């Protein structure tokens, strides 16, 4: 039986620490501030934004929410981003993705000041992660690193396989594992004999966005399995990229969905906002 990596519990522990840091900053007259911009009414995005607001409230970060209608133009959005970049009491600017189709995501991400880019999506911050000299880490990969740390398992010298190559999770995840001296393989839709590659993994990170994509025959006995997926199965039930019921008996550690990587992502966002406030 695998040990369940409880993201809620680990996240709660981190937030206690973050709350103390916020209180110390407030004593110096600095109140960390986060601005979240959401365009349109995507349900999942609404939930994420609510959770981010709750997180800020919990640890004492000042948060501002800008909810814009779906028909907002790209120019209007860029104007708001520019305003938030210049706002002295805001340390972090986050534009919730996905954006409506008529808006160029890349242009919006690049418009956010790298100093306030608490999602770490800006090309300047991505480059810093590549060379290992960074200020902010992308929230999901940073949360995953904390969960792996929780296992007490050393990453150095381990076979690490990341399934998925998105700019948000897959690529930065591979870099962070590499910085910890893991031997890293990135798999994707064109990988031949995928199961053969994933079976080598001591640490397997699944970030493909397909329900129950990773099956038991793809996992090595005793592996650490991290599930980044947030999908709905045919019954509309929330599930991950890993077939939990089948894979769990083979692992040493596994993250559940929900309650695994998700809560960690938001805690890392709060951490980045505090880092930015300290640099203020």
- Is 146:264 a contact under the CB 8 Å cutoff? yes
> Is 166 marked within a binding site?
yes
**pLDDT given for residue 241 in this prediction:** 97
Report residue 144's pLDDT band, with 50, 70 and 90 as the boundaries: very high
Quick one: what percent of the chain has pLDDT higher than 90? 96
Give catalytic status of residue 171 as yes or no. no
Catalytic pick from 52, 116, 158, 171?
52
Catalytic pick from 91, 96, 115, 116?
96
Please state the separation of Cα 233 from the chain's center in Å: 22
Return the closest-CA partner of residue 267 out of 19, 3, 44, 98. Answer: 19
**pLDDT given for residue 18 in this prediction:** 98
In the predicted structure, residue 236 carries a pLDDT above the cut 90: no
Instruction: Quote the radius of gyration of the chain (alpha carbons, Å).
Output: 19
Any idea where the domains of the chain sit in the sequence? Answer: 30-113, 139-262
As beta bridge partners, residue 228 has: none
CB within 8 Å of 141: residues ≥ 6 apart: 169, 172, 173, 175, 176
> Is 232 marked within a binding site?
no
In the predicted structure, residue 44 carries a pLDDT above the cut 90: no
Give catalytic status of residue 119 as yes or no. yes
* Matching fold, domains 30-113 and 139-262: yes
- Round to whole Å and give the CA distance between 210 and 219: 17
pTM (two decimals): 0.95
Contacts for 177-182: CB closer than 8 Å, 24+ residues apart: 177/203, 177/205, 179/132, 180/145, 180/155, 180/156, 181/155, 181/156, 181/157, 182/155, 182/156, 182/157, 182/158
**pLDDT given for residue 190 in this prediction:** 94
- Round to whole Å and give the CA distance between 215 and 229: 14
> Is 276 marked within a binding site?
no
In the predicted structure, residue 209 carries a pLDDT above the cut 90: yes
* pLDDT tens track for 52-91: 999 999 999 999 999 999 999 999 999 999 999 999 999 9
Catalytic pick from 91, 115, 117, 119?
119
CB within 8 Å of 38: residues ≥ 6 apart: 45, 46, 49, 65, 66, 67, 68, 96
The CATH number of the structural domain formed by 30-113 is 3.40.50.10860
* CATH fold for domain 139-262: Rossmann fold (3.40.50)
């Amino acid at each position: 039986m695998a040990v369940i990596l409880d993201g809620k519990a680990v996240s709660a522990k981190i937030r206690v620490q973050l709350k103390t840091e916020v209180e110390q900053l407030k004593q110096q007259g600095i109140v960390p501030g986060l601005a979240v911009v959401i365009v349109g009414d995507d349900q999942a995005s609404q939930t994420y934004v609510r959770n981010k607001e709750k997180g800020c409230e919990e640890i004492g970060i000042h948060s501002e929410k800008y909810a814009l209608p779906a028909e907002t133009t790209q120019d209007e959005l860029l104007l708001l981003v520019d305003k938030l970049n210049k706002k002295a009491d805001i340390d972090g600017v986050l534009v919730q993705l996905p954006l409506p189709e008529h808006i160029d995501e890349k242009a919006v991400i690049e418009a956010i000041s790298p100093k306030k880019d608490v999602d770490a999506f800006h090309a300047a911050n991505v480059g810093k992660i590549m060379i290992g000299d960074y200020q902010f880490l992308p929230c999901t990969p940073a949360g995953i690193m904390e969960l792996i740390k929780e296992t007490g398992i050393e990453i150095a010298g381990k076979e690490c396989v990341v399934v998925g190559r998105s700019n948000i999770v897959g690529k930065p995840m591979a870099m962070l594992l590499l910085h910890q001296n893991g031997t890293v393989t990135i798999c994707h839709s064109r990988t031949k004999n995928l199961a053969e590659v994933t079976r080598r993994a001591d640490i397997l990170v699944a970030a493909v966005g397909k329900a129950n994509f990773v099956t038991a025959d793809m996992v090595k006995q005793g592996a650490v399995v991290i599930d980044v997926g947030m999908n709905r199965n045919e019954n509309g039930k929330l599930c991950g990229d890993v077939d939990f019921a089948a894979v769990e008996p083979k692992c040493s550690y596994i993250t559940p969905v929900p309650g695994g990587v998700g809560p960690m992502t938001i805690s890392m966002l709060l951490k980045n906002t505090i880092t930015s406030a300290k640099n203020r």
